[in-house]
Structure 1
Amino acid sequence: MNLIDKAAPMKLKQLEIFRSVMIAGSMVGAARLLHVSQPAISQAIHQMEKQTGVRLFRRVNGKIFATAEANILFTEIERVYAGVKNLERLAEGLRHNRHGSLRLAGFPAISRQLLPAIVADYCRDRPEVDIVLDSTQSRNIPDLVARREIDVALSVLPSDRDEVEATVINTVNAVCILPVGHRLCDKTVIHAADLDGEAFISLGRNDQSRLMIDKVFEAQGVRRRLQMETTQSDTACGFVAEGSGVSIVDEMTMSWYRDERIAVLPFEPLISFNIWLLSLKGSTQPLLTRDFAEFLQTRLADALRRPTG
């Protein structure tokens, strides 16, 4: 029998008094816990027994003993109090951005290491924040945000969806990577014309950075030997390390990709890639989401200021 459901309406103060009596084991002890008089406690318990129609305590030789019904009621009240405490902890966590969930997405180059490092740092003192991180091509990200499957995302493309807000938060430059010992390694800067006739590792045909890179070489009439193609910049690094050719990738990839077989040099003319922060337009974002977005922008700026060599 659930006594709370069957009882006449009771006030929270009555429940607090009853709980204190059960914990203290006496009316006097409850009065001390609540800093009220003992008669006030006795009167409240008497009123509660009258309202519920249930005898809660037996009085023997000046002492009180809880009835079986009182123990059932106490169990229910403890469950309510535990729920209230959980709500208090939840509210506190929400207020200080330490509770909730974040659904994130990023383009592959940033999701390999940089974004996980930023997320891990953010969650270090937020163990109750749940994270989902999806690594996907930039062209897929606006749809994920529009369908509310993702809260915050990083893309190298702006959004083509009206309901998705896109803001440029950083820019990364392209660098040229060559196998160590390559004839061009002694140069301080690699120019597009230097790569004429070179075996070149290209990114995927639908990659926005590939389109920008090809446009530079086409504008200068430079003919490369496009022998290999890959959708991932770190895979291009692997081919270069094996001596299969040279490539142009973003400096962000080279901020974490380490291989002593690869030389990294500046490339001209300058090719820059924007990094866009995407979120749902017009939505009221939780404090946690806004706090993480600010943290992400700051940490990303710090990471990209570091030298890539």
Structure 2
Amino acid sequence: MRLRHIEVIQALLQTGHLGTAAEWLQLPVTEVERILRDAEDQLGFMLFSSVRGRLQATREARELQVEMARVYDALEPVQRLANSLRQYQAPPLRIICTPPLAQQLLPQSIAALRRHLPDAPCTLLSQPTRDIVRSLLLRESDLGLSLHDPDRAEIECQVIAQGKLQLLAPHGWLQPRQKYISLQDLAGQAMVGLEGHDPLSPALENKLHALRPAPVIHTRVQTHQMMRSMVEAGEGLAIVDPFTALGAKSAGLDVCPLAPAVPVSLYALSLKNGEPSTAVQALLAIITEQAAAMLAN
């Protein structure tokens, strides 16, 4: 079978009518009918039978439908790349970032990029840092963004913004106009913890465990976003990165940095010795500006 055969069969399976399938494929009805007969001749069995003016798929056609759908799915990335090359002479801009950055920073930055490059195709994925590194090494992504330095020889790691870890608390827990909170003030408090390895956590957790009495942690979650949700649900206090804390105040939470401050860096990750495209350079400049503005606020 050829791809043209599959295209016609899929259209007939969807429409059940030669004329409608022909309009869908922008082909003459006679051409659709000819391609169908050619496919049936090659296969050696009927694919459709006429029942009260409609084409009804045979058992063999229905069994083929699953595999033909897989062929279509496999062709979709090829079609996207072909459209990109035809319209822009460049592949899509592929960005991958850790979950906290996918909530506000990246959507706003891509929206700003769209004002400069209105038709540039772009894909955005959210993954942990280890998967970002893997994606860059496999050349599946053009730019990675993380709050952690992966410390890999093959990866260029550039600090583009800096902020501070933030305390999230239920509304009214902090004093009015309180600008920071010391770790000692967290002694004995109910807190939400992180499960698994997080590069931002070890030094902080050691300090929390040294408090007397130590904070009480009944619930541990995987991400800072989940920590914020648990605070909103009344499970206790949480210490999160500054991007996760963005918008928490408008959601009804109290937010303030720790004292002494615990710095957090935003890193742009890319392959060493790579040549960033014009779109990547433009987006990186926008992200740097947006991040600085968000963290300043």
* TM more than 0.5: yes
In structure 1, what is the equivalent of residue 260 of structure 2? 269
CA contact (8 A) 2:129 2:150 kept: no
Residue 160 (structure 1) shift: 3.3
Q: CA deviation at 1:208?
A: 1.5
AA of the residue aligned to 1:237:
R
Q: Distance between the aligned counterparts of 1:266 and 1:157, measured in 2? A: 19
Please say if residues 159 and 266 of structure 2, whose CA atoms lie closer than 8 Å, have aligned partners that are also in contact. Answer: yes
Partner of residue 124, structure 2:
133
Measure how far apart 1:165 and its partner are: 0.6
- 1:155 is the counterpart of 2:146: yes
Q: Which residue of 2 aligns with 1:197?
A: 188
Q: Counterpart amino acid of 1:168? A: V
1:166 to 1:103, Cα distance in 2 relative to 1, 3 A: same
Distance in 1, Cα, partners of 2:262 & 2:157: 21
Distance 1:157 1:289 in 2: 20
Q: 2:163 and 2:287 mapped to 1: Cα distance?
A: 16
Within a 5 Å distance, the mapping from 1:72-111 to structure 2 comes to: 100-111=91-102
Alpha carbons of 1:174 and 1:122: their partners in 2 closer, same or farther (altered >3 Å)?
Answer: same
* Count, aligned residues: 214
Letter in 2 for 1:171: Q
Tell which deviates more after alignment, 105-114 or 211-220: 211-220
Match of 2:200?
209
Report deviation, 1:220.
5.2
Aligned to 1:257: 248
* Amino acid of the structure 1 residue aligned with 2:95: L
Q: 1:242 and 2:268 equivalent? A: no
State the percentage of identical aligned residues. Answer: 25
Q: Counterparts of 2:180 and 2:291 in 1: how far apart (Å)?
A: 26
CA positional deviation for 1:302: 2.3
1:303 aligns to 2:294 (yes or no): yes
Which protein is bigger by CA-based radius of gyration? 1
Measure, in 2, the Cα distance between the counterparts of 1:156 and 1:221: 30
1:162-241 matches, within 5 Å, as: 162-182=153-173, 184-186=174-176, 187-218=178-209, 223-241=214-232
**C-alpha RMSD over aligned residues:** 2.6
Distance 1:302 1:160, change over 3 A: same
**Deviations 1:170-227, CA, capped at 9 Å, x for gaps:** 1120111111233x54554311111111111112331112223213324556611111
Partner residue in 1 for 2:58: none
Distance in 1 separating the partners of 2:235 and 2:100:
21
Q: Distance in 2 between matches of 1:121 and 1:271?
A: 30
Check whether the contact 1:195–1:222 (CA below 8 A) recurs between aligned residues: no
Within the candidate set 121, 125, 134, 1:143 is matched to: 134
Match in the other structure for 2:279: 288
Residue 3 of structure 1 corresponds to none
TM-score, scaled relative to structure 2: 0.65
Give the Cα separation in 2 of the matches to 1:291 and 1:224.
44
Q: Is contact 1:205-1:211 (8 Å) kept?
A: no
Q: CA deviation at 1:253?
A: 1.8
Once the two structures are TM-superposed, the CA of residue 228 in structure 1 deviates from its matched residue by 1.1
User: Cα distance 1:188–1:170, how it changes in 2: closer, same or farther (>3 A)?
Assistant: closer
Check 1:101–1:222 CA distance in 2 against 1; reply closer, same or farther (3 A cut): farther
Asked if the contact 1:159/1:165 (under 8 Å) is kept, the reply is no
SS in 1 for 2:160: strand
Q: CA deviation at 1:258?
A: 4.6
Spell out structure 1 runs of 4+ moving beyond 3 A: 184-188, 218-222, 257-261
**Residue identity matched to 1:114:** L
Q: Answer yes or no: is the 8 Å Cα contact 1:207–1:231 preserved in 2.
A: no
Supply the distance in 1 between the matched residues of 2:104 and 2:179 (Cα, whole angstroms).
28
